[in-house]
Amino acid sequence: QVQLVESGGGLVQAGGSLRLSCTASERTFRTYAVGWFRQAPGKERDFVAAINWGGGSTDYVDSVKGRFTISRDDAKNTVWLQMSSLKPEDTAVYYCAAERRSYVSGSRRVADFGSWGQGTQVTVSS
């Protein structure tokens, strides 16, 4: 497993943007598939986006397609989630997750990822 630290959350008005960062503790991070999940109060933790090792492929839940972009820089051991055109329904705690494998499109379950960060709060006001 790898230690993950998220940052970049905050309070933003609807229509605004935020960029979340997920930084890993190990240089082997380049061999990990990385995902972003979110959990709103009283709800389950849901998949948002994922990126394969090497950044060759990405996957998004339909509700964020065209608004969110996941990217990575393995030289910096960092994955970003750029969020634009934010909506109040995007409000949640956002978690970074990683698994040392090649990402298979559709592997969106919480159980598909073994390493998790502590989460960062994103609040979108209307």
58 Cα distance to chain centroid: 11
Half-sphere exposure of 88 (CA within 13 A, CB side): 2
pLDDT for 29: 92
pLDDT for 17: 98
Strand partners, 20: 81
For tokens 């298979």, the residue is: 104
Q: Write the DSSP symbol of residue 107.
A: -
Average pLDDT over residues 2-24: 97
pLDDT, greater one: 27 or 44: 44
pLDDT for 55: 78
Average pLDDT over residues 48-60: 91
Q: How sure is the predictor about 92, in pLDDT bands with cuts at 50, 70 and 90?
A: very high
Residue type present at position 102: S
Average pLDDT over residues 29-33: 93
pLDDT for 68: 98
Average pLDDT over residues 59-85: 97
